[in-house]
Homo-oligomer: A and B are copies of this chain.
């Protein structure tokens, strides 16, 4: 089993995936893509599509996985930058905004399918975001010595804010406006961090005096 065959198959599979990603845009959602269009873009006969995916849905779930992977790579990248010193919040937001600029369509996919019509898609996206949230929660718990529940609420809020900002950023072309949005987002995250810290501290004090 040299794998020449399997190798070819994997290659055209990627062609299908890339064809779908290429067709995604601000004006084109995944659900508006047809099997025939994707196949054509991939240089395939419509019926050959089935040799790789039984459904457009199956392709869609694959794309969501792909997007999740991109998200996790992003996190790793942010951690590396943070390790080299600098404001955690600032670096995180900046890194996230870079993602939106370079991979807007992948992020759009996540945003759209999160509130889409397929329960399976929604679940898949939510799973990716939850992973994101949990990682942040862990970090906050260790770095800021927060209670577990406070850390979770904090992390959840921060992720909501960042994704919301990402959503806004997608509709902004002007670079300066984008930076303004980033600055605003940073400020919002600081508010949350401040509030969480204070609530956490207050609780510790009341424990101490009990």
Interface residue ranges, A against B (CB under 8 Å)? 26-29, 31-32, 108, 111-112, 114-117, 119, 122, 126, 153-154, 156-157, 160-161, 163-165, 167, 170-171, 184, 187-188, 190-196, 198-199
A32 to chain B, nearest CB (A): 6
5 contacts between A and B (CB under 8 A): A26-B117, A29-B31, A115-B170, A157-B192, A191-B192
How many copies of this chain are found per oligomer? Answer: 2
A122 to chain B, nearest CB (A): 6
A191 contacts B191, C-beta separation under 8 Å: yes
A187 proximity list for chain B (CB < 8 A): 153, 199
A156 proximity list for chain B (CB < 8 A): 184, 188
A26 contacts B119, C-beta separation under 8 Å: yes
Given contacts A27-B117, A157-B188, 5 further A-B contacts (CB under 8 A): A26-B119, A154-B191, A160-B161, A160-B188, A198-B198
B115 contacts A28, C-beta separation under 8 Å: no
Residue of B nearest to A187 (CB): B153
A73 to chain B, nearest CB (A): 23
A112 proximity list for chain B (CB < 8 A): 112, 115-116
Bound state CA distance, A170 and B117, in angstroms?
Answer: 12
Q: A153-B184, A156-B184 are in contact. Are A114 and B190 (CB under 8 A)?
A: no
Bound state CA distance, A164 and B160, in angstroms?
Answer: 6
A193 proximity list for chain B (CB < 8 A): 195
A27 to chain B, nearest CB (A): 5
Query: Among B119, B126, B199, which residue has its beta carbon within 8 angstroms of that of A190?
Result: B199
Residue of B nearest to A25 (CB): B117
Bound state CA distance, A130 and B40, in angstroms?
Answer: 41
